[in-house]
Amino acid sequence: MKKTFLYKTTGLILAISMLTGCQIAGTGAVSTPEDTNSQASFASTTLTPSSPFDGTTYIKESSLTSVGQELAEAEDDVDIEDAIAGIDVVQNYDTELSVPTYITRQDDTWFIVDCYHNRVIYSDDLNAPLDEWYIMSGDATQPHTIASDGSVYMIDDTENNRVLVYEKVNDKFVHTQTFYDIGNRPHYTIYNEITDTFYVWSSTTGELYCFRHTSDSTRMYLTDIKKINELDGIYVRSFSIIDGYIYFVSGVSDTDSAGASNIIMCDLDTLEIKEKYTVPAEVAGMVQITKIQDYYYISVSTDTTGSQDYATIIKTPSLYDLSQGKYEDIYSEYFIGGGTPYYISNVDDIYFLTEHRLKDHSIWSFKVTDNSITDVTSIF
């Protein structure tokens, strides 16, 4: 017998300051480097496994969808089949993507977030034509990312300020849970295996939302909300967890372009700012930082004015070098250039880049060997 929710816990809702969700221990002291060109001046933190979440201390429990409620009450396999009987597996009906933002794989299934088509599609064959993929979700408006721990799948419903939770039940992807009022335009979602936490970034309020579930249930809980006050009002598209720290890319602000033109490195547990890296105006509208081997790869959407004419990809061995304009522009060298590169993800040793504004070149794959990009392929 398979049940979607094994049991429902009763939680004690506490003030955020008392919460212990997103438990991560940083072990390295951070000192101000004498040589500001040396990234190695920072001691790396070590992520330690979080204590198992017991479901008793949280801010908010997910809202069950009608199907989610039926599955939670199901007593046997017949009840489960009855609950999902009205859910059809729908084949994708578009032959092109419309502003894809993210691609990833969970187990043997590939997922593409097709942002402007308002859907997430999936396939067991990466090379299958797009109209042979299937629609996992059509419930979000301009979603940007999807993350999974193998049990649940979380999608940021950007324009509705929601997070949608899906589960795979008898080979069907089912929208079982929803979180409402998640900041403003939640824009980036990841799952960190070490901390056993889903992190969702509210792109304009400076808030990082943390979600967990117990080991024997898929019912999701909002366990913590952390905030960087100075990022409130700045459009920041993503964050990256690198060497135990969390990095927020430089963003765009209508009122304070200088304040927005910084990459910010924080303690992941507290979001205490450890360092700022000033960046030139022409690359300030960043999308994402990805550390690959010895270099930081940064996708850029706009300059500080919001112009996509400056969209590019740059790489640098040190974030301190950015303030002096010391970086390598690699977009047109390895990719066609002229589009707007977006998120970079990886599956095993292959990296994937999504981009828009370029017809017939919306998702690329590539490898990195000895700090050089190789095997660049246009997939879609």
The answer as to whether 261 is a domain residue is yes
Q: Considering its fold, how many domains does the chain have in total?
A: 1
Taking the C-alpha atoms of residue 38 and residue 331, their distance in angstroms, rounded to an integer, is 25
The answer as to whether 131 is a domain residue is yes
Residue type present at position 189: T
The answer as to whether 24 is a domain residue is yes
Beta partners for 296? 291, 316
SS3 231: helix
Taking the C-alpha atoms of residue 143 and residue 141, their distance in angstroms, rounded to an integer, is 6
The answer as to whether 349 is a domain residue is no
Taking only the tens of pLDDT, the chain with its 380 residues reads 344 454 444 444 433 333 334 543 333 333 333 344 444 444 445 566 778 999 999 999 999 999 999 999 999 999 999 999 999 999 999 999 999 999 999 999 999 999 999 999 999 999 999 999 999 999 999 999 999 999 999 999 999 999 999 999 999 999 999 999 999 999 999 999 999 999 999 999 999 999 999 999 999 999 999 999 999 999 999 999 999 899 999 999 877 666 779 999 999 888 999 999 999 999 999 999 999 999 999 999 999 888 899 999 999 999 999 999 999 999 999 998 889 999 999 999 999 999 998 777 899 999 999 999 999 999 99
Beta partners for 173? 168
Taking the C-alpha atoms of residue 292 and residue 226, their distance in angstroms, rounded to an integer, is 27
Nearest to 366, CA basis, from 331, 339, 338, 340: 331
What are the backbone angles phi and psi of residue 17, rounded to the nearest 5°?
-65, -15
Q: What is the dihedral of CA 90, 93, 95, 97, to 10 degrees?
A: -70
The answer as to whether 360 is a domain residue is no
Q: Show the tokens assigned to 149.
A: 């721990």
Contact 268/24 with Cβ under 8 angstroms?
yes
Taking the C-alpha atoms of residue 84 and residue 119, their distance in angstroms, rounded to an integer, is 20
Helix ranges restricted to H, 11-169: 66-73, 77-83
Report the relative pairing of strands 328-329 and 340-347 from DSSP bridges.
unpaired
Nearest-5° angle of CA 357, CA 156, CA 229?
Answer: 95
Q: What is the CATH number of the domain that holds 339?
A: 2.120.10.30
Nearest to 106, CA basis, from 172, 152, 171: 152
Taking the C-alpha atoms of residue 282 and residue 309, their distance in angstroms, rounded to an integer, is 10
Q: What is the residue range of 180's domain?
A: 12-344
The answer as to whether 289 is a domain residue is yes
